[in-house]
Amino acid sequence: APSLHLAMKHAIKPRRDIGLRTIFNLLGPLTNPAGASRQVLGVYAPELTELIARVLLNLGSENAFVVYGMEGIDEISICGETRITHLEDRRIRTYYLKPEDLGLKRARKKEIQGGDAARNVEISLSVLRGEKGPCRDVVLLNTAAALVAGGKVEDLQEGVFQAQESIDKGYALDKLESLREFSRRSLCS
């Protein structure tokens, strides 16, 4: 956030000094200079999903998912239930989602944990190349929410299907390659 949102640079040191999760962890997404009106936002405590959804409503968001994986992760989880507060058409509703609800198998948290930058690239590329497993499934769930929030699909089930299609047909990997090429050209010009 600090490289794209200059005001955030002042929050980095106090956030690190405190050493606990605080409102500073949410300021970046809530003060997004791009003015995103559609998004998926993970929070660090279940009681924050409705509060942050109301904040997003007041900030002008049109469609947003505020999520908390009940085993302590700030995204839609395949390890257990996820508390989801969905803001849509100025209405807010909260529900719980299990991976099985969308036809995905539950996994252990250690199966989806990343590592250093090199390991995370390796995991990301394996998912985009179509490797099946827990890492792919967590990508499918979170992409599904992004597709719903973005107005591209009607519901999470359709979102999972679209995400699977995009990966399996190579569209997602092609998009990454296009982005890499664009970045290379931009840096060289």
Cα separation, 169 vs 174, whole angstroms = 9
Smallest Cα–Cα separation from 127: which of 119, 137, 117?
Answer: 137
Average predicted confidence (pLDDT) for the chain: 91
| Residue range 107-135, pLDDT digits in tens | 999 999 999 999 999 999 999 999 999 99
| Residue range 8-63, pLDDT digits in tens | 566 566 656 666 666 777 777 787 778 889 999 999 999 999 999 999 999 999 99
Topology given in CATH for the domain delimited by 36-188: Pyrimidine Nucleoside Phosphorylase; Chain A, domain 2 (3.40.1030)
Instruction: Please state the pTM of the whole predicted model.
Output: 0.86
Cα separation, 79 vs 99, whole angstroms = 8
* Residue 150 CB-density burial (10 A; 0-12 exposed, 13-18 middle, 19+ buried): middle
| Cβ atoms of 82 and 67 closer than 8 Å | yes
Phi (first) and psi of residue 88, to 5 degrees: -155, 135
